[in-house]
Amino acid sequence: MSDVKWTGGVEHWAHKGNIKLFLWEKKASPKVAHAGTLFFVHGSSMASQPTFDLHVPGRPYSSAMDWFAEHGFDTWTMDNEGYGRSDKHRDINFDISNGADDLAAGSEYILKKSGAKSLLVYGISSGALKAALFTERHPERVAKLALDAFVWTGEGSHTLEQRKKKLPEFLAKNRRPIDRAFVHSIFQRDHPGTADENTVNAFADAILTLDDSMPTGTYVDMCSKLPLLNPQKIPVPSLILRGEYDGIAGLDDLINFFKLLPNMNKQFSVMAGISHASFQQKNYMMVYQILHSFFTMPEPAYKG
């Protein structure tokens, strides 16, 4: 196991019944106008801090939390149950519905602690599914929703086609082992070269500091239970982000989902030169800018 330390933030603990959930907060810079409270949701194969508070020597703002904090956002992230520092003791596979329950508990804590009326929510990969399902259940808590590397029905997803071959293995156990080679495979499977070696190594160090196995529940859901939600029940302003080379997020699948979102304050962005893990890509600053534009865009004055 590696040994990476995280600094500059504040740890918190929310409770889902008797389950302890780890939250990490980095406050907005007082030097700029406050822009909102941003809640980052991680994916299937890594906890929250490696994804959103990564530090890579020579790579400015590898920490999305730091970048958004400097731009006026109070930033929060949380380890889902079964990941990172959150409780892992239950004999379950920690599926997407369970993850949405975590977000309900985490968001309740954040709203009380911060005094915010609602949250700006960003989820990536299975974290996007959790964020969308949470929004379907608690739309009043979400001001805007950004879904990155998202999948709806799974149609056209090359990665999920390959992953389904291992579905019996995922069904047979609640956790799957991960190692450094696995982390590197995330960046090799779609389009090698979209991330630099130093970043991938730092990402692997950070992930393996906290975990040597991951829950199987999100893999089982994405391979055998899609669709898990109804876009027509997501009433908030929404942004769909899709990396040009992402093997999980089928373009037509996402466009069909996008068409059905009822709030006309919605955007669809294809990100050039990016595969699956957008914050760890060479073009990561482009992703920050797209999100910043969406999250700071004023409400339309005229809605018809």
CATH number of the domain at 127, please: 3.40.50.1820
Q: Give the residue numbers spanning the domain of 255.
A: 10-295
Domain annotation covers residue 79? yes
Q: Which residues contact 36 (CB under 8 A, 6 or more apart)?
A: 72, 73, 74, 116, 119, 120, 143, 295, 296
pLDDT at position 303: 87
Domain annotation covers residue 3? no
Q: Which residues contact 23 (CB under 8 A, 6 or more apart)?
A: 11, 12, 13, 14, 76, 77, 78, 79, 106, 109, 110
**Which residues share a beta bridge with 240?**
147, 268
pLDDT at position 187: 95
The residue type found at 243 is G
**Residue ranges, the chain, pLDDT below 50:** 1
Token reading at 65: 């939390």
Domain annotation covers residue 300? no
Domain annotation covers residue 301? no
Number of domains making up the chain? 1
Burial of 184 (C-beta count, 10 Å sphere; 0-12/13-18/19+): middle
> In terms of DSSP bridges, do strands 142-148 and 119-124 run parallel, antiparallel, or are they unpaired?
parallel
pLDDT at position 3: 78
- Cα distance between residue 136 and residue 140, in whole Å: 9
Say if pTM beats, i.e. exceeds, 0.75. Answer: yes
**Helix-, strand-, coil-residue percentages of the chain, each rounded to 5:** 40, 20, 40
**Which residues share a beta bridge with 73?**
36
Q: Which residues contact 209 (CB under 8 A, 6 or more apart)?
A: 1, 2, 3, 4, 50
Closest by Cα among 83, 77, 80 to 26: 77
Domain annotation covers residue 2? no
Which residue reads 């149950």 in tokens? 81
pLDDT at position 2: 60
Q: Which residues contact 112 (CB under 8 A, 6 or more apart)?
A: none
